[in-house]
Structure 1
Amino acid sequence: MKAVVIGGGIAGLLAARVLTESFDDVVVLERDKLSDEPEYRAGVPQGRHVHGLLVRGGEIMEGLFPGLRDELVEAGAHLMDAGEMRILNPLGWVASTRTGLPLLVVSRPLLETHVRRRVTAKIVDDVQVTGLSFRGSTVDGVLTADGRVDADLVVDASGRSSKLPKWLAGAGIVVPEPDEVDSRTGYATRLYTAPEGFPVVIAESLASPDVSRGGIVMRIEGDRLMVTAQGAGGDHPPRDPEGFQRFLDSLRGPIAGMLAEAEPLTPAYLFARTASRRFAFERTPGWPGGLVAVGDAVCVFNPVYGQGMTVAAMAALLFRRHEDFSAKGCRDFQRKVAKTAQSAWVLSSNADQGWVEGAHAPGPIKRAFGWYMKKWQVALVHDQDVFRRFVRVVHMVDSPAALMNPVVFRRLAKYSRRDPRRGRRRAGPNPR
């Protein structure tokens, strides 16, 4: 039995790793020409910017590749407690505290390179996949610029730029229009030298409708800082050095001042393709056998929330519990993929709705969700237990249902009576 995975990014590599447990032959086809060393590549335009590997994603990768975490730390990545990030929300500094959750802070090129070295599937780079090969109602391979590759199972993990809906349309299979939420977020990133004692992660979060600017600074390998300035609602940071610095200076928090002794190492790189989008492949009439999709090819999230790699890792594990890749079996698999992404979609898309241009007035459920999250913003500044629970949900260790239990309601009620303006903590001084 042979499986062909389209795309050699994180989603494709993790899918290939699990598929090697049940398929005799697994081949990964990657469009880019790959290097043996950590390098930015065209197929991952967001790779030059801060990437978040959530705790759940890190746990899955460590399970698939034992020792990966230590290997990455030895290569320059940082390991910290997820609750000790310095985060400035619209009402002040959150009540950071230890959670016991290990958070791996690593650049995308370093992570992807080390994962790729561990995958035992055959990886073929510089291959342009141009379509699918059909035998009746079953996909039996992929078409490439150089010919055809046969397969018993094709996995589309080609990411945000996937052509799968177009390829299926060519076979008369119409995919429903995707759900899309566009917060019109854009960001710019520069690398700097890291001054001595600089925190591993410090962030200033966005919040609609009033706080459109934020940023995050992350220590990466090579004793460098990855500095990403973020702007929502079309308020994007400039790329020129002076404009980039003015944007940092405009933030409420101390990031600009903390970088006073840091030296820029690169130009600022822009990224603004941040719309969240999900396809309902599980509801597509006539879905063929021998074909499934995972990762951003199915559901792409605004990268600001750092959910993509973790959702892809969770989807990869589904291959361990799924053996039927007939038309019905593939539809069932896509239902599982959709379910895996659901919680992350609800959290991020609801948070982004306030930035959507021309959006309809929210319904009662979304209004209630927005009201509830504002209460959380107040509580996160004052209550370490609330923050600890929040961290576990954001990092997908616990379900969002954990935010809805009676203990949480009682704690939130305590802070809902407090005037948020009086409860706000000032942005300065330097929170080292």
Structure 2
Amino acid sequence: MKALVIGGGIAGLLAARVLTESCDEVVVLERDELKDEPDYRAGVPQGRHTHGLLVRGGELLEELFPGLRDELVREGAVLADAGDMQILNPLGWLAKTHLGMPLLSLSRPLLETCIRRRVTAEIVDGVHVTGLSFRDGVVNGVRTRDGHVGADLVVDASGRSSKLRAWLAEAGITSAEPEVVDSGTGYATRIYAAPAGFPVVYAESPSAPDLPRGVAAMRVEGDRIMVTAQGAGGDHPPRDLDGFQDFLDSLRVPISKMLADADPLTPVYLFARTASRRNAFEDVANWPGGLVALGDAVCAFNPVYGQGITVAAMEALLFRRHRDFSAKGCREFQRKVARTSKAPWAMSSNADRTWVEARRGGLLGWYLKKWQAGIVHDPDLFRRFVRVVHMVASPATLLNPVVFRRLAKYSRQDLPRGRRPAGSSPR
């Protein structure tokens, strides 16, 4: 059996890794020209910005590529405990407590390059896929600018830029318009030489509707600090150096002071394609055999939540338990993909809807405000919350009687409506 994977990003590489266990031949087709050493790619514009590798994602990558974590650390990635993050939410600094959960802080190009080196599938770069090819209603390969490449299975892992809906429509296969939730978030990132003692993760979280601005700063390889300013609801940080600095100055965290003597190493780079988008491919009645899709081609999350790599790894692992790629089998695979992304989609899209709908009241708003206070004051609630955010535990663990009793003691607190200085480290 020959499998073609469209897209040589992380989702495509992970799919190829697992398919090599069951297929005779696996070929990855990547549009960009690839380099041997870590570098930014046009096809991954968010690669210039901070990337959070969730703890669960790190565990799955280690399962797929034993020893990868140590390799990344040797390459300069920073290993810390997930409980050591220094994050300011609207009500204060999140409680710090050791969690025993390894957290890697690194750049997207380093992670992707180290994964690509370990994938045994054939990777062909500089290939522009222009459509699917069919025989008797079954996908039997892809069309490219240079001709046709045949396969028994085609996997679309081409990410946010996927043209799969249009390709299917050309064959008379229609799918519903994707569900889109857009928080209006934009990023601006600059890299600095790391000042002495700068935390591994240092951040301020935006909060709808009154605090649209935030920042995420992470130590990455090369003894550098990647600083990503975030603005939701259309309040985007600017590209010009003075405007970027003014944006950092406006934050409650004193990151400007912490970086005052740090040497900037790059210009400011922008990214604003952050809308969450979900295709319900599992509902397409005449989905063809020989075709599956996963990763951002199916469900693209707002990158601020760091879910994409972890979900892509979970979906790739579905190939270990799935062997039927007939029309019926491919539809079942898409149902599995949909189930895998359901909980992460609910968490991130519901958070983004607070910017779209600007609703603060109701039971959900009350409950979220309780959590904002709880994870500041209560280390146990912080631990539970972090395990869910990092997809180590189910969101259902936040809805049990023990949690309700702990949250009940926190009185309702109003979100701050203006910005004020905060200390440079948690209490």
Equivalent residue for 1:341?
Answer: 341
Q: Residues 318, 421 of structure 1: CA spacing in aligned structure 2 closer, same or farther, 3 A cutoff?
A: closer
- For 1:290, the aligned partner's letter is G
Aligned counterparts, 1:4-403, within 5 A: 4-356=4-356, 359=357, 367-403=362-398
Q: Compute the displacement of 1:263 (Å).
A: 1.1
Q: Deviation at 1:427?
A: 5.2
Between the aligned partners of 1:342 and 1:353, the Cα distance in structure 2 is 16
Identical residues among aligned pairs (%): 73
Contact kept, 8 Å, 1:88 with 1:427, in 2: the verdict is no
Letter of the aligned partner of 1:318 in structure 2?
Answer: L
**How far 1:429 sits from its partner (Å)?**
2.1
In structure 1, distance between residues paired with 2:364 and 2:143: 45
Q: Match of 2:425, as an amino acid?
A: P
Partner SS state of residue 386, structure 1: helix
Q: CA RMSD in A?
A: 1.6
Quote the Cα distance in structure 2 between the aligned partners of 1:63 and 1:420. Answer: 44
Aligned equivalents of 1:370 and 1:25: distance in 2?
A: 51
Q: Secondary structure at the match of 2:173?
A: coil
8 Å CA contact retained: 2:90, 2:415: no
After superposition, residues 418-429 of structure 1 pair within 5 angstroms as: 419=413, 428-429=422-423
Q: Amino acid of the residue matched to residue 124 of structure 1?
A: V
Structure 2 distance, partners of 1:360, 1:397, is 30
Rounded Cα–Cα distance in structure 2 between residues aligned with 1:221 and 1:421: 36
CA distance in 2 between partners of 1:361 and 1:390 (Å): 23
Gap regions ≥5 residues in structure 1: none
For 1:421 and 1:394, how far apart are their aligned partners in 2?
22
Shift of 1:360: 9.1
CA distance in 1 between counterparts of 2:309 and 2:250 reads: 31
TM-score scaled by length of structure 2: 0.97
How many residue pairs are counted as aligned between the two chains?
Answer: 424
Residue 421 of structure 1 deviates from its aligned partner by: 7.0
SS at 1:139 equivalent: strand
Letter aligned with residue 34 of structure 1: L
Deviation of 1:354 (Å): 1.7
Report what 2:408 is aligned to: 413
Distance 1:421-1:211 versus aligned 2 partners, 3 A rule: closer
- 1:67-119 per-position Cα deviation (integer Å, ceiling 9, x unaligned): 00000001000111111100000111010111111111110000000000000
Q: 1:367 to 1:307 in 2, by over 3 A?
A: farther
Contact 1:186 1:232 in 2 (8 A): yes
- 1:427 & 1:149 partners in 2: Cα distance? 59
**What amino acid is the match of 2:18?**
V
Indicate yes or no: 2:424 matched with 1:430.
yes
How far apart in 2 are the matches of 1:60 and 1:159?
A: 20
Residues in 1 aligned to 2:93 and 2:13: alpha-carbon distance in whole angstroms: 37
What is the CA-CA distance between 1:420 and the residue it aligns to?
5.2
SS class of match (1:184): coil
Q: Say which SS state the counterpart of residue 3 (structure 2) adopts.
A: strand
Residues in 1 aligned to 2:362 and 2:77: alpha-carbon distance in whole angstroms: 40
Paired residues of 1:174 and 1:285 also in contact (CA < 8 A): no
Q: Is the 8 A contact 2:165 2:175 kept in 1?
A: yes
Name the SS for the 1:209 alignment partner: coil
Query: 1:407, CA displacement in angstroms?
Result: 0.4
SS across alignment from 2:5: strand
- C-alpha contact (below 8 Å) 2:190/2:267 kept by paired residues: yes
- What is the letter of the counterpart of residue 106 of structure 1? L
Give CA-to-partner distance per residue, 1:112-169, whole Å, 9 cap, x none: 0000000000000000000001012210101111111111110000000000000000
Q: Give the letter aligned to residue 243 of structure 2.
A: G
Provide the rounded CA distance (Å) in 1 between the counterparts of 2:311 and 2:364: 22
Q: Provide the C-alpha distance between the structure 2 equivalents of 1:230 and 1:132, rounded to a whole number of angstroms.
A: 38
Deviation string, structure 1 residues 164-199 (Cα, Å, up to 9, x no partner): 000000000001111110000001000101011111
Q: Distance in 2 between matches of 1:272 and 1:131?
A: 27
Looking at structure 1, the residues matched to 423 and 183 of structure 2 have their Cα atoms a distance apart, in angstroms, of 30
- Give yes or no for contact 1:293–1:334 (8 Å, CA) kept in 2: yes
1:186–1:274 CA contact under 8 A, matched in 2? yes
Q: 1:179, 1:279 within 8 Å by CA — same for their partners in 2?
A: yes
Matched AA of 1:146: D
Residue deviations 1:40-61 (CA, integer Å, cap 9, x gap): 0100000000011101110000
For 1:62 and 1:371, locate their aligned partners in 2 and report how far apart those are by CA, in whole Å: 38
Any idea what SS the aligned residue of 2:383 has?
Answer: helix
Q: Which AA in structure 1 matches 2:199?
A: P
The amino acid that maps onto 1:284 is V
TM-score in terms of structure 1 length? 0.96
Q: Distance in 2 between matches of 1:410 and 1:48?
A: 42
Query: What is the alpha-carbon distance in structure 1 between the residues aligned to residue 61 and residue 415 of structure 2?
Result: 42
